[in-house]
């Protein structure tokens, strides 16, 4: 058996031609998302040149950072053919807990971030254990966790809120500061994105997550430790959500009980729009990050163009439906193409 510390290895158990076809299709998907993002930014800039001034770019990056982080964590769960609907609630709970922890104190940045990660890990452990070892459907488990965490957060807050004046300056600086003109939060998101992508593509443990999502029965027969891998995916998603909650506190300063309320649907939309198939087995963390950036940019563009915020939800919903439909069409065509290729090779043999 392998562990999360396995050395990098090439993908195994998949025909090279099939893997090449899948990679080509989803690379094209990510390129098309990037193209749509560039086109959206260009059109908005033409309509309002201030959209791309220094402050506009900074705000765009800051607004996208937390959603990108959550999309990265969610993508790791979705490729295993599961879902985590509790990420918004975990983020909100972590933000409020970290706010309570640092309020009117001089607690440092590192311990605050670690607290957020610990809260997320605890939530991810519960969800992951029920899904992987309890074999309860992921939709049921994480939806239940969503309501449990929300109820706990509202009970704990009791209408209270943490104000920016109560938060140590060092933590607020993490949310507003920058290095060489680039804000810290986008840099953190890029680092996590690079590490996650490297793990998923370069390590056997990462490739096994795709194998589980592509064909669970084949993965089981191949000796993949499925329960541990799924549990690991939920632990990662929970840790990222808790970490995002601590960064939420740093970004906004003021936190209340319903922070990130409903955010889980935006996260799932971003992941699916980014090319991570809801049926598992395909997609990348890069694609999920692009989807998150696209969804955030749509919201920012509508504000700049003075369009009703209602249309952000409508457009995001339309993108989600289009992405799911596109996944279905692509999967059907790829399956047909692979069957023809297999039949041709079998006939030739």
Classify domain 25-337 by CATH number. Answer: 1.10.3470
Residue 98 pLDDT exceeds 50: yes
What integer pLDDT is reported at residue 48 of this predicted model? 85
- The mean-pLDDT minimum among 44-48, 116-120, 151-155, 328-332 falls in 328-332
- What's the predicted TM-score (pTM) here? 0.85
Mean pLDDT of the chain: 85
User: What is 81-116 written as a DSSP string?
Assistant: T---TTHHHHHHHHHHHHHHHHTTS---HHHHHHHH
What integer pLDDT is reported at residue 2 of this predicted model? 38
DSSP 8: B
Buried b (16+ CB within 10 A) or exposed e, 244-279: bbbbbbbbbbebbbebbeebbebbbbbbbbbbbbbe
* H or E segment to which residue 179 belongs: strand 178-179
**Rounded to 5 degrees, what angle do the CA atoms 263, 56, 197 make?**
55
Domain boundaries, the chain: 25-337
**Mean pLDDT, range 246-250, rounded to an integer:** 95
Proportion of the chain above pLDDT 90, given as a percent = 46
């Amino acid at each position: 058996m392998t562990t999360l510390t396995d050395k990098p290895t090439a993908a195994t158990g998949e025909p090279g031609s099939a893997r090449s076809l899948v990679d080509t299709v989803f690379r094209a998907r990510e390129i098309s998302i990037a193209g749509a993002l560039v086109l959206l930014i260009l059109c908005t800039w033409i309509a309002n040149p201030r959209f791309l001034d220094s402050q506009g770019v900074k705000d765009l990056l800051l607004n996208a950072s937390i959603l990108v982080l959550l999309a990265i964590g969610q993508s790791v769960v979705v490729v295993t053919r599961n879902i985590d609907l509790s990420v918004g609630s975990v983020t909100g709970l972590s933000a409020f807990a970290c706010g309570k922890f640092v309020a009117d104190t001089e607690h440092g940045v590192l311990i605050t971030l670690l607290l957020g990660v610990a809260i997320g890990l605890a939530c991810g452990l519960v969800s992951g254990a029920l899904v992987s070892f309890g074999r309860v459907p992921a939709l049921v488990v994480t939806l239940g966790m969503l309501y449990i965490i929300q109820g706990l957060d509202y009970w704990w807050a009791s209408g209270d809120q943490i104000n920016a004046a109560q938060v140590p300056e060092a933590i607020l600086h993490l949310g507003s500061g920058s290095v060489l003109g680039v804000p810290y939060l986008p840099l953190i998101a890029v680092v996590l994105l690079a590490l996650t992508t490297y793990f998923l593509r370069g390590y056997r443990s990462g490739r096994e997550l795709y194998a589980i999502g592509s064909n669970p029965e084949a993965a089981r027969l191949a000796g993949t430790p499925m329960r541990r891998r799924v549990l690991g995916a939920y632990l990662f998603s929970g840790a990222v959500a808790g970490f995002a909650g601590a960064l939420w506190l740093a970004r906004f300063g003021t936190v209340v009980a319903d922070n990130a309320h409903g955010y889980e649907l935006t996260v799932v939309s971003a992941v699916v729009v980014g090319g991570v198939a809801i049926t598992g087995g395909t997609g990348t963390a890069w694609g999920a990050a692009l989807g998150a950036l696209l969804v955030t940019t749509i919201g920012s563009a509508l504000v700049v163009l003075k369009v009703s915020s209602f249309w952000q939800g409508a457009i995001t919903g339309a993108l989600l439906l289009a992405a799911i439909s596109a996944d279905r069409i692509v999967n059907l065509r790829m399956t047909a193409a692979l069957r023809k290729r297999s039949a041709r090779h079998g006939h030739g043999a």
